[in-house]
Amino acid sequence: MKTTLTGTALVAGMAFAGAAQAADEVTLQLKWVTQAQFAGYYVALDQGFYAEEDLDVTILPGGPDIAPPQVIAGGGADVIVEWMPAALAARENGLPLVNIAQPFKSSGMMLTCWGDVGIASPADLTNRTLGVWFFGNEFPFLSWMAQLGIETDGADENGVEVLKQGFNVDPLLQRQADCISTMTYNEYWQVIDAGVDPGELVTFKYEDQGVATLEDGLYVLESNLEDPAFVDKMTRFVRASMKGWKWAEENPDEAAMIVLDNDATGAQTETHQKRMMGEVAKLTAGSNGALDPADYERTVATLLAGGSDPVITAAPTGAWTHVISDAALQ
């Protein structure tokens, strides 16, 4: 009996110790599919940075039918990667998302046009067909057009015809559109890989046009920030994630291979991911993970300048916090 009791006590003690040491679970919802755009998170997982922070992180890939705000609203994620225009629009519509960190300092969004159709400057965009992503990605474009005084309800001397663009470059290659939306690290290179010479194209980077908005920030629900345990968990998550991002910047080829190892679809290629990682590193450079208030204000100003149908109708309050990044990055 004494041996039995001792064994029972030992098992109970081991179970208690195991429970006490269990890592905190975190579910991250990405904005798009597994690719180098999200390398920092995969690196943090692969290199054990999350484990060092006592975190058990699950990374959920996104896709064309996945809206991160909807996922977090339904309880499917603790934190999401989202573009600020979509996040602020969601906040104004009743979903209180809060930016807790901003790994991307610069925007990779641009409009890529055929060079043989007479487009040399934004003023030449009128009376054209332009491919635009929707599902929240259209907001920067609409604000830009409003600032240019270009209508988006039809192609004529005062407006453009907006083609709802899928997540590919076919509309440009098939001459269905004069310009399409592209990212510096992805779709632009898909056009090049299709056999188009860069000299045949004209590009307008949103950064260069002064209408860039913040992309790929980390967002949580405002109510969760009232829980000290959640704040602590997110602090450790942001610290480990930024460690992953800086490692990826310094080791872009290795980071790209880590992304490939995590691509369950097998759709990505080594060449494309290494090139993408090199371009993404340019966008995360200069950020330690803390949101720059000036970048936030620029984004809000751009969105408010949306003409008769702005992305947001008033400057948000409480849409970002430094509480977590200050604690994580000190």
- SS3 state of residue 119: coil
CA distance 230 to 235: 8
Q: Are strands 24-29 and 55-60 parallel, antiparallel or unpaired?
A: parallel
Query: For residue 39, what are the CA distances in angstroms to 116, 281, 329?
Result: 36, 10, 19
Helices 252-261, 270-284: axis angle to 10 degrees equals 120
Please check whether residue 129 is in contact with residue 177, taking contact to mean a CB–CB distance below 8 angstroms. yes
Q: Give the class (CATH, top level) of 109-209.
A: alpha beta
Residue 46 has, within 13 A of its CA and on its CB side, a CA count of 20
How confident is the model at residue 138, as a pLDDT? 82
What are the φ and ψ backbone dihedral angles of 329, each rounded to 5 degrees?
-110, 5
CA distance 324 to 42: 21
CA distance 41 to 237: 10
Q: How many CB atoms lie within 10 A of CB 278?
A: 16
User: What superfamily does domain 23-106+214-329 belong to in CATH?
Assistant: Periplasmic binding protein-like II (3.40.190.10)
Consecutive sets of 10 residues in the chain, 330 residues long: mean pLDDT of each?
40 46 94 97 98 98 93 98 94 97 96 96 95 81 88 85 92 97 96 97 94 95 98 98 98 98 94 97 96 95 77 93 95
Query: Domains of the chain: which residue ranges?
Result: 23-106+214-329, 109-209
- SS3 state of residue 199: helix
Do 23-106+214-329 and 109-209 have matching folds? yes
The amino acid present at 21, given as its one-letter code, is Q
Which tokens belong to 207?
């950064």
Please check whether residue 83 is in contact with residue 200, taking contact to mean a CB–CB distance below 8 angstroms. no
pTM for this prediction = 0.89
Rg (CA), the chain: 22
